[in-house]
Structure 1
Amino acid sequence: MLLHIPKVLDADTLAHCTALLKQADWTDGRVTAGSQAATVKNNLQLPETSPVALQLRAAVLEALSKNAQFFSAALPKRIYPPLFNRYGDQANSFGNHVDNAIRTHPSSAQHVRTDMSFTLFLNNPGDYEGGELIIEDGMGGRAVKLPAGDLILYPSYSVHRVEPVTRGARLACFTWLESMVREPQQRELLYELDMSIVALRGEQGDTGTAVRLTSCYHNLMRMWAMV
C-alpha cells in the first residue's frame, strides 16, 4: 500500500522545522546506508545526535502521534527515530535500493523490523527541480513529489530511488517502522475497514451496523496484532 497523508505538519510546525533546518550542519548521508545502498547513495543527512535533529525529531513524532490516518495505516509498534536529509548541489540523488530488513538504533541497541517506510517532505516542490521519490510497483514505478508537510507511506520491501535534484535543494524527513500487524495484506484490510467505519459513523452516527463493524475490526486486530 502506498498512501499519501496530507498536512501531517501544520503551518506552525512546518515554520518551526524550516527555521531549524536553516541551522543544519549536514554530513555524508551514507552513514546510515547498508552495503548495497551505500554504493548508490549520494546525499546529505543531519547527524542523529545533533541538537537540530533532536528538535526536528520531537516535532515530527508529536505530529505523527496526533495523526489518526497515519496510525490507522501503519499501526506502529516501533518507529526508528526519524532522520533528515538534503538533496542538492553535488550530493543530489539516491539510486535504486531496498531498505534493510532490520534497523538497530546505535544508542539504544533497539531492533526495528522495517515493515513500512515514510518520507515526509519539508519544502515545497517549487523549491527544486527533480528529486522525485520513485517507488517501483511493477508498473514502471510511481513518482512522488509532495507539498511541504505531506507524507508518503510505503512498504519497506519496495525498490525505490530519489531522482537527481538539478536545481535548488530537496529537504525531507524519513524513517522506518515496525507495525503491530506484520502482514501487508492484513494491514491494508484493517485500514480500509477502519476508514469505512469512520465514514459510516460520520454519515449515520453510531448505528448498530457501525458498532458491529467496529467489533469486527477490533477482533481482527486481536487475531493479527503482535504486541
Structure 2
Amino acid sequence: MLLRIKDLIPSDKLAIVREILDSAQFVDGKFSAGKEAVSVKNNEELPQDHPEMGKLNTIVMGHLVNHPTYKYGVLPHRIAAPFYARYRAGKQYGKHVDDPIMGIGDSYRTDVSITVFLNEPNEYEGGELTISSQHGEIRNKFSAGDAILS
C-alpha cells in the first residue's frame, strides 16, 4: 500500500514545526533502531523527551489522525510515537525492513509507516524515501507538508 497525502500540514503550521526543529538538539538515531536496522541507520533524531515534543505532535499527529485518507485508508488501532529525523551531509538510512513488532512490554505491530516531508525537495540533495518491492524501487521526494503511508 502506498498512499500519498498532499498538503497534510498547512504552511503556517509547517513553519512552526520547522522553527522548532531548526533550533533543536538532535541525538544519534541508532538509539531507536531495531536490531536489524542499527547497522544501516546513520541519522539524527529529536529526543523523545524534548520539551517541544508535545507541540510538534499536536501539529503533525493532529493533522494526520484527522485526515480522512489516513483514518479510512489505514484504520489505525494504535499509533506509535513519531520520530523526527534529520539527515545532514553524508547521513543516510540504508536498506532495511522496519521491525514488525515494536515497544517494550506492551508491544504492538507496525504494519504501516508514515513519512511526513518537512522540507521542499529543492532544499536538499538526496533524501528520497526509497521503497523496494518485487516490482522494483520507488523513490519518493514530495513537497513540504506532504506525507506518504506505506
Please report the TM-score for the alignment, with normalisation by the length of structure 2. Answer: 0.94
3-state SS in 1 of match to 2:87? strand
Work out the CA distance in 2 between the residues paired with 1:112 and 1:10. 30
Which structure is richer in relative contact order (CA contacts within 8 A, separation 6 or more)? 2
- The reply to whether residue 73 of structure 1 matches residue 44 of structure 2 is no
How far off its partner does 1:54 sit? 2.8
The residue number in structure 1 matching 2:120 is 124
Measured against aligned partners, the alpha-carbon deviations of 1:39-90 in whole angstroms (never above 9, x if no partner) come to 0110000011111333212211211132111111110111101110001124
CA positional deviation for 1:110: 3.5
The runs of 5 or more residues in structure 1 that have no matched partner are 155-227
Given that 1:53 and 1:83 are in contact with CA atoms closer than 8 Å, whether structure 2 keeps it comes out as no
SS at match of 1:69: helix
Higher helix share: 1
1:116 is paired with a residue of what secondary structure? Answer: coil
> Does residue 1:97 correspond to 2:96, yes or no?
yes
Alignment RMSD (CA, Å): 1.3
Normalized per residue, which structure has more strand?
A: 1
Structure 1 moving runs of 4+ over 6 Å: none
SS of match in other structure, 1:37: coil
**Residues 53 and 84 in structure 1, CA contact (< 8 A), matched pair in contact too:** no
SS at match of 1:15: helix
User: What whole-Å deviation, never above 9, does each CA across 1:106-132 have from its counterpart, x for those lacking one?
Assistant: xxx542210111100111101101111
Size of the aligned set, in residue pairs, is 150
Partner of 1:148: 144
Q: Distance in 1 between matches of 2:139 and 2:76?
A: 25
Look at both structures and tell me which one has the larger radius of gyration over its CA atoms: 1
Aligned partners of 1:101 and 1:113 also within 8 Å? yes
SS in 1 for 2:61: helix
Q: Within 2, Cα distance between the matches of 1:18 and 1:87?
A: 14
Q: Alignment identity in percent?
A: 39
Taking structure 1 as the reference length, what is the TM-score of the superposition? 0.63
Q: Which stretch of the first structure deviates more once superposed, 48-57 or 130-139?
A: 48-57
Q: Which residue of 2 aligns with 1:213?
A: none
Q: Aligned partner of 1:55: which letter? A: K
Q: How many angstroms apart in 1 are the aligned matches of 2:78 and 2:143?
A: 26
Note the alpha carbon deviations across 1:8-34, whole angstroms, 9 max, x for none.
101121111111112211110011101
Q: Does 1:7 align with 2:11?
A: no
